[in-house]
Amino acid sequence: MLRRMALIAGGVLTATLALAAATDIPTRYAGSFPSDGLRTSITGTYANKTLRLSFTAHPKKGPPLRRTFAGNCTVSPPNQTSCNGAIRGSGSDTINVPAVAVVTWSAGRPAALSISK
């Protein structure tokens, strides 16, 4: 009887921990994202494992540039999404390069963001 109770308690604890970890990554989020140091004013949406971002890039030379990122994401438990996509410029900024964005989530909100080319 004690063994059965211990197994049930362990199962409830495991299910609770899995649920808590699963709730860090939302199914849908729209709003601001934290700066990664190279980009500011980052806003976007994450929905159906798709990430779309708009941001201001600050190159070492020249004025700030408004750019976008769009990519498809996979979940990396317990709290990250890794998104493969591309960075694109607008107007005279003709950048169009493959990139990976990794979002670390906490309580359904982005806690950290890194974008690499």
Confidence of residue 4 (pLDDT cuts 50, 70, 90): low
Q: Is 65 helix (H, G, I), strand (E, B) or coil?
A: strand
- Please write the tens of the pLDDT for every residue from 18-67: 444 456 899 999 999 999 889 999 999 999 899 999 999 998 888 999 99
pTM of the model: 0.78
Contacts of residue 30, defined as CB under 8 A and 6 or more positions apart, other chains included, come to 44, 45, 46, 47
Q: Is 35 helix (H, G, I), strand (E, B) or coil?
A: coil
Task: Evaluate whether 95 touches 67 at the Cβ level (below 8 Å).
Answer: yes
